[in-house]
Chain A
Amino acid sequence: AQTIHQWPVAEIKAVGSPLSLGCTIKGKSSPNLYWYWQATGGTLQQLFYSITVGQVESVVQLNLSASRPKDDQFILSTEKLLLSHSGFYLCAWSLWGGGQDTQYFGPGTRLLVL
């Protein structure tokens, strides 16, 4: 069975500080990987997706970047946090990325920027 792990569980950071969030998928080789952001009580906004190692596509610009250094790892980062970065960050995976492909979400990382 596939498992998805996100770290850290929660972060409190200062405005202007750097950030790195991680996601690891176990039990599935070459998954498609995704990053989402969710404001408290709000909808989910897709940020990035990756089909293969080293390739990342940006969906929306939020002063964030993403990288996929390994087949099973997806990293979300920024050098300078903004207040607007606060929220819930979710990593997801899917099997083949076609229109009928279901995306499965991890437990999320809660970020508070002060």
Chain B
Amino acid sequence: QQKVQQSPESLSVPEGGMASLNCTSSDRNFQYFWWYRQHSGEGPKALMSIFSDGDKKEGRFTAHLNKASLHVSLHIRDSQPSDSALYFCAVSAGNMGYKLTFGTGTSLLVDP
């Protein structure tokens, strides 16, 4: 069973709209969380990391972490067509920093 589930599997939002992506882990050893974005045919690029409960904002992107529920979300405001991509959350445990586990992914389409 996949230890890191993402929802929804796919999402379509209008240009300028808000996109909300969710990620839930089933392993309480996971302490550190990242969001990666992958455009078609390219390698993933790290968008942001979040390690403490609460919100973290970087430009149009805001991540929210709730460690008690093992849930992290990513909100993209003022979505642009260039935001259309696969989004992955990735998690690691404090004592196994080399091992990064990726979620199932969310495909985002921003309609111009």
Contacts and interface: CB of A to CB of B under 8 A. Distances in A.
Nearest to A51: B98
B61 interface: no
Contacts, number: 61
B46 A99 contact: no
A103 B94 CA distance: 15
Interface stretch (A12-20, A40-48, A78-86): A40-48
Q: On chain B, which size bracket covers the interface? A: 20 to 34
Contact of B43 (A41, A42, A101, A105): A105
B20 interface: no
Interface residues of A, number: 26
Contact of B102 (A44, A49, A101, A104): A44
Contact of A49 (B2, B34, B41, B99): B99
Interface of A: 32, 34, 41-46, 49, 51, 57, 59, 90, 92, 97-108
